[in-house]
Structure 1
């Protein structure tokens, strides 16, 4: 089950469509959907989590806590709407495109993809682009 939670004034317009897309992504990667909670928040909210749980005193667009068991994907994904807006401007893409990229990015981590090395980051970006192309 996918749940969307809001700690800011932002709200997804198409929760059902996004939920189906995430579920299809997980299935396409050979995994089963467990419980995923998306929490949309602001920079302050996510910064506090970043400091408290990861000991990183920086702003970020996404933090994911992976509780997956075997091939069952589950966890909590926190997304800063402020960071997504700024990144969309920086990358010259629409807010919706950048938001969906971040949404699928968290799920791809749960499916075993990493982005620490340049090679891993390139594969992650390729996967993100593939799944973004499937979102109508």
Structure 2
């Protein structure tokens, strides 16, 4: 079950479409959908989590807490809408496209994809692109 929560004024325009897309990606990678909570928030909210749980004093667009067991995907994915908007401007991207990339990025981490090394980050971007093509 995919649940969208909001800690800011932001709200997804088409929750059902996004939910169905995420479910499709999960199934296509051979996983089963468990409980996945998306929490859309602001920079301040996410920075607090980053400091408290990861000991990082930096802004970020996403933090995902993975509760996956075996092939059942589950977790909490926190997304800073402010950071997504800033990143979209910085990389000359459409804000909706950048948001969708970040939404699926958290799920890809649950599949085991990493992004700490250049090689891993490139692979992550490739996987994001594959998933984004499925969003119709």
Aligned ranges 1:69-108 → 2 under 5 Å? 69-108=69-108
Map residues 38-117 of structure 1 onto 2, 5 A cutoff: 38-117=38-117
What do residues 57-82 of structure 1 show as CA deviations (whole Å, max 9, x unaligned)?
Answer: 00000000000000000000000000
Count of residue pairs the alignment pairs up: 136
Q: Measure how far apart 1:116 and its partner are.
A: 1.0
* Structure 1: 5+ residue stretches without partners: none
Give runs of ≥4 in structure 1 deviating > 2 Å: none
Q: CA deviation at 1:118?
A: 1.0
Stretches of structure 2 lacking an aligned partner (at least 5 in a row): none
Normalising by structure 1, what TM-score? 0.99
Aligned-partner Cα distance in 1 for 2:118–2:57: 23
Distance in 1 separating the partners of 2:27 and 2:112:
13
Q: RMSD between aligned alpha carbons?
A: 0.5
